[in-house]
Amino acid sequence: MNITNAEENYLKAIFKIAEKENKAASTNKLAEVMGTSPASITDMIKKMSDKKLVNYTKYYGVTLTSEGSKIATNLIRRHRLWELFLVDKLRFPWHQVHNIAEELEHIKSDDLVARLDAFLNYPKFDPHGDPIPNAEGKFTIRSQSPLSDARKGQKYVLVGLKENNYDFLKFLYDQGFKIGSSITLLEKSDYDHTAKILLDGRSEILLGAVVTQNLLVRNE
C-alpha cells in the first residue's frame, strides 16, 4: 500500500501526541500540531482509517494501528538519522536542522536509511539527545534527570533536552552547549531554580529556571 508524505506526517503527529499525552489524539490537537483546520483532520483521518493506518472513533479521537505505529517509528528514525548527518557531517548548528530533516525524512528508500545508519556508525541518539529507533523500531532508554534536580558540586553530562524549540536551541548553541558537554553545578538556588555552572571546564554560566528544568543530564 502506498503511503503519501501527508499521511506520514499525520502518523508522526499522532505518534508524538500519544507519546506526550498518553492518550488518543483529538481532532483539534492534531489540527493545531499539523497547522491545518479541524475539518481537514477529520477528512484525512477517515481515509487513513480505511487504509488501516489508524483507529478512529468519531467524536473521541485517533490512535495508531500497529502498521501506523511502525511507519511513524520509521519516520522518526529517518528524521533523527538525517539530523545527525546534518550536524555531524555537514556541520549545521543544531537549531537549523529540523526543517531540512522534515523534508529528508520522506525520501523513500530503505536501502538509503540502512546505508546512512551505517555511515553514521549506528548511532543511538540524535544531536538533540533524542533516541534514534533502530531498524527494528526499538528506542534506547537512558537514565536522565533535569539539571534543576542536580546536586551542587557534582559533575554531569548533558544527555538530552526536554524542549527542542528553535530559540532554546539557539540560546544553548550560542553558549557552547552540545550533547555530551560536561556540566559542573557550582551554585544553585532552591528558591528560584537558577544555577551557576561550569561548562566543559571552560566557561562559567548563569542559567535561569526554564533552562535548568529543560536540560537533561546524567551523573559523572
Partner DNA sequence: GAAATTATTTAAGTTTGCTTAAAAATAGAT
Partner DNA sequence: ATCTATTTTTAAGCAAACTTAAATAATTTC
For its own copies, the binding residue among 21, 50, 103, 192 (CB under 8 A) is: 103
Amino acid at 194: T
Instruction: Tell me whether residue 23 or residue 108 sits nearer to its own copies (CB atom).
Output: 108
Instruction: Tell me whether residue 41 or residue 132 sits nearer to DNA (CB atom).
Output: 41
Amino acid at 114: A
Instruction: Tell me whether residue 31 or residue 186 sits nearer to DNA (CB atom).
Output: 31
Asked if 155 contacts 184 with a C-beta cutoff of 8 angstroms, the reply is: yes
Mask of contacts with DNA, 35-74, x by CB under 7 A?
xxxxxxxxxxxxx--------x-xxxx-------------
Instruction: Tell me whether residue 47 or residue 98 sits nearer to DNA (CB atom).
Output: 47
Mask of contacts with its own copies, 110-129, x by CB under 8 A?
-xx--xx-xx----------
Amino acid at 45: I
Q: Which does 44 bind (CB under 5 to 8 A by kind): DNA, its own copies, none?
A: DNA
For its own copies, the binding residue among 3, 18, 54, 86 (CB under 8 A) is: 86
Query: Does 34 contact DNA by CB under 7 A?
Result: yes
For its own copies, the binding residue among 28, 37, 57, 109 (CB under 8 A) is: 109
Query: Does 84 contact its own copies by CB under 8 A?
Result: no
Query: Rounded to whole angstroms, how far apart are CA atoms 44 and 4?
Result: 11
Query: Rounded to whole angstroms, how far apart are CA atoms 52 and 147?
Result: 42
Q: Which does 116 bind (CB under 5 to 8 A by kind): its own copies, DNA, none?
A: its own copies
Asked if 157 contacts 217 with a C-beta cutoff of 8 angstroms, the reply is: yes
Query: Does 26 contact DNA by CB under 7 A?
Result: yes
Instruction: Tell me whether residue 92 or residue 171 sits nearer to its own copies (CB atom).
Output: 92
Least Å from the CB of residue 23 to DNA = 11
Helices 66-84 and 110-119 pack at an angle, to 10 degrees, of 40
Least Å from the CB of residue 27 to DNA = 4
C-alpha cell belonging to residue 66: 500497529
Query: Does 21 contact DNA by CB under 7 A?
Result: no
Q: Which residue has the cell 548553541?
A: 173
Q: Which residue has the cell 499525552?
A: 21
Q: Which does 158 bind (CB under 5 to 8 A by kind): DNA, its own copies, none?
A: none
Classified as helix, coil or strand, 40 is: helix
- DSSP labels, 152-215: TT-EEEEEEES---HHHHHHHHHHT--TT-EEEEEEE-TTT--EEEEETTTEEEEE-HHHHHHE
Tell me, what DSSP letter sits at residue 88? Answer: I
